Amino acid sequence: MFDRIIEVENIGLISYKKAWEYQQKLVQARLDNPHLPDKLLLVEHPAVYTLGTGSTLDNLKFDLNSFSGELYRTERGGEVTFHCEGQIVVYPILNLHYYQQDLHWYLRQLEEVIIQLLAEYNIEAHRIKGLTGVWIGNAKIAAIGIKVKRWITMHGFALNVCCDLSGFEKIVPCGIRDKFVTTISHYDPSISILEVKEKLVKTFAKVFSISIG
């Protein structure tokens, strides 16, 4: 057993706005009381596009004036991405004072969670030097974008499990023009998103050396 405990909330389908507001509430609570336990939120979002704080509109392939869907500019890092059902979005609310106060370390840890998780499905995933995220060959399987305030984390990563990738065709995902996106279901058509969530939580706890509360 590890000293640090993380509480898991498998929320399911929730609007991006509600999940974003909930994260902000959890972060503020931990800024007010640093002794609160960490949280790990697992969600799915209805179709939505999100932009990082410094991302450019040049990576949108649609006209914003005639766009009728949902799009948010957030405080996370990274470029534009797409969320939809069948994609697991993971929001760790961690106090990095209890881990390492190092954003590069944190990003590499998130990547390691995904790499180890995919290895359980005999899928060989990897990093690409200079790029944040996780890849299978030349295809991105997971996008990462974080925000850290006084070493409390929010936002996180999105793992494509069994989602419809057509929404990505309307953007340049993460601003990278010479690569594409993929899903776990491409390699394992019988994949269960519920099982992936269960394995993901266990893998996260192992990589971060924490106990599930």
Active site residue 174: yes
Active-site hit among 84, 162, 163, 174: 174
Answer for the pair 171, 49: CB distance below 8 angstroms, yes or no: yes
Q: What is the pLDDT of residues 123-178, one digit of tens each?
A: 999 999 999 999 999 999 999 999 999 999 999 999 999 999 999 999 887 777 77
Domains within the chain, CATH numbers bracketed: 5-203 (3.30.930.10)
Read off the pTM: 0.96
C-alpha–C-alpha distance, residues 145 and 175, integer Å: 13
Q: What is the pLDDT of residues 37-49, one digit of tens each?
A: 999 999 999 999 9
Give the pLDDT mean for 13-22: 98
Answer for the pair 119, 161: CB distance below 8 angstroms, yes or no: no
